[in-house]
Amino acid sequence: MVKIKKNISLKNLSTFKIGGRVRFFCEVRNDKELLESLRMAKKLRIPYKIIAGGSNVVFPDKILNCLLIKIKSNRLKIIKNKIIIDAGVSLLRVIAAANRRGLRGLETLAGIPGTIGGAIVGNAGAYGHSISEVVERVEMLNETGDKRWVTNRNCKFEYRESVFKKKPYIILRAVFNFQKGLPADGRGNPEKLQKISRNIIKIRLKKYKPGLRCPGSFFKNVLISGISKKSLALIDKNKIIDGKIPAGYLLEEVSAKGMKLGGTKIADFHGNLFVNTGGAKAAEVERLAKILKSKVQKKFHINLEEEIHYF
Ligand SMILES: Cc1cc2nc3c(=O)[nH]c(=O)nc-3n(C[C@H](O)[C@H](O)[C@H](O)COP(=O)(O)OP(=O)(O)OC[C@H]3O[C@@H](n4cnc5c(N)ncnc54)[C@H](O)[C@@H]3O)c2cc1C
């Protein structure tokens, strides 16, 4: 039976360590428990919200009036070149399993915290690759509580976007197919893949020191296909990577580095990294984000969009 806890602090449920309290909270380990928790929310007549690794969220300072459901499902099964994974499995575990078997496609995502569900919602990625490249299909609960499988195409993946960001679907599990776009048998060399992941983790650790209270990159990079010629003319072309302008570059151009508001600080070494230096408040984060967006708009006529999810 699912155990419902009351009046829980939100701080330790996210890597940013920000937030007030939530009225009701529970953890679910499988579909049965998830369905039970949804029935409980109905009975309590309160909305529900989903959380997983909490590595891409900003919780509010006030009381969150909902049942917050943490997805902790953890089954992982490998069949030839496919992996069937529950939404609550950590991305790290899947990458390690794939690398060990020489399944190529996720090795550059090593070091991204969080779960498979969270990674699919935001189409997480790094170093020119994103999770959508290996997703074959996703099983989810739709708004009426029915289970459905959706194909990669129907996930509507784009840069840091998916259908799951726009609709109240709950991801249950996914099938990853490591053959897509890869050599005929989909297999690489395990040692080579593990080395790539290890090296990337090493590089990432320089930016994200262990224990750093942050939600990863705050804003999305900007697709050049989505901006005006006038804006593009203002950009140093050497800064464009894979058709995107790093949000960090735009923010650094408006002197974001080192800016501070209460306990929230923009890292001295990266303009797109919001850090909780201790006791940071969601209100400060939102205010600082608003100030920076307006500065970038004024200088480049570009609207920065948040990559993080406000609750
Ligand atoms: C240090 C650090 C580095 C990072 N680096 C990167 C990076 O390089 N690239 C990148 O893309 N991201 C990066 N991130 C952001 C984050 O790790 C990813 O977005 C991650 O995939 C989020 O997964 P999560 O389980 O933590 O999701 P959460 O933060 O728990 O949730 C994110 C959103 O997804 C929803 N959600 C989660 N699970 C489900 C589910 N099963 N069904 C429906 N909705 C669900 C939540 O409601 C929420 O809206 C970084 C974060 C940190 C802290």
Task: Render pLDDT for 211-238 as a digit per residue (tens, 0 to 9).
Answer: 999 999 999 999 999 999 999 999 999 9
Told to judge if 307 belongs to the known catalytic residues of this protein, a careful annotator would answer yes
Mean pLDDT of all residues belonging to the chain: 95
- With b for 16 or more beta-carbon neighbours within 10 A and e for fewer, the 56-85 pattern comes to bbbbbbeebebbbbbbbbeebebeebbbbb
User: What is 5-71's CATH topology?
Assistant: 3.30.43
**Quick check: 76 pLDDT over 60?**
yes
Is the domain 217-310 a CATH 3.90.78.10 member?
Answer: yes
The predicted structure's pLDDT at residue 45:
95
CB 149 within 8 A of CB 172: no
Is 122's C-beta closer than 6 angstroms to any atom of ligand 1? yes
Distance, in Å, from the CA atom of 1 to the CA atom of 214, rounded to the nearest integer, reads 33
Question: How many Å lie between the centroid of ligand 1 and the Cα of residue 245?
Answer: 21
**Quick check: 47 pLDDT over 60?**
yes
Question: How many Å lie between the centroid of ligand 1 and the Cα of residue 233?
Answer: 33
Binning pLDDT at 50, 70 and 90, where does residue 180 land?
A: very low
- Top pLDDT among 183 and 188 is at 188
Q: Cβ–Cβ contacts within 10 Å for residue 301, how many?
A: 12
Nearest CA to ligand 1 atom 9: 125
- Choose the residue to mutate in 18, 38, 56, 219 for probing ligand 1, maximizing ligand atoms within 8 Å of C-beta: 56
Could you list the beta-strand ranges (E) of the chain.
5-9, 21-28, 48-51, 57-58, 64-71, 76-79, 82-86, 125-126, 129-130, 135-141, 147-151, 170-177, 222-223, 244-245, 260-261, 264-266, 274-276, 309-310
Binning pLDDT at 50, 70 and 90, where does residue 296 land?
A: very high
For the segment(s) 76-204, the CATH number from 3.30.420.10, 3.40.50.1820, 3.30.465.10, 3.40.50.920 is 3.30.465.10
Is 140's C-beta closer than 6 angstroms to any atom of ligand 1? no
Nearest CA to ligand 1 atom 36: 118
Exactly one of 217, 231, 284, 306 is catalytic; which is it? 217
Question: How many Å lie between the centroid of ligand 1 and the Cα of residue 114?
Answer: 5
268-290 average pLDDT score: 97
Q: Dihedrals φ, ψ of 287, to 5°?
A: -65, -45
Alpha helices in 28-182 (DSSP H): 31-44, 91-100, 116-121, 163-166
Neighbour order of strands in the sheet with 170-177: 76-79, 82-86, 170-177, 135-141, 147-151
Exactly one of 137, 160, 173, 213 is catalytic; which is it? 160
Residue ranges of domains in the chain: 5-71, 76-204, 217-310
* Structure token pair of residue 222: 């900007």
Nearest to 266 by CA among 227, 214, 221: 214
Locate the ligand 1 atom nearest the alpha carbon of residue 123 and give its number. Answer: 11
Per DSSP, what are the bridge partners of residue 173? 86, 139
Distance, in Å, from the CA atom of 31 to the CA atom of 33, rounded to the nearest integer, reads 5
Told to judge if 160 belongs to the known catalytic residues of this protein, a careful annotator would answer yes
Locate the ligand 1 atom nearest the alpha carbon of residue 91 and give its number. Answer: 21
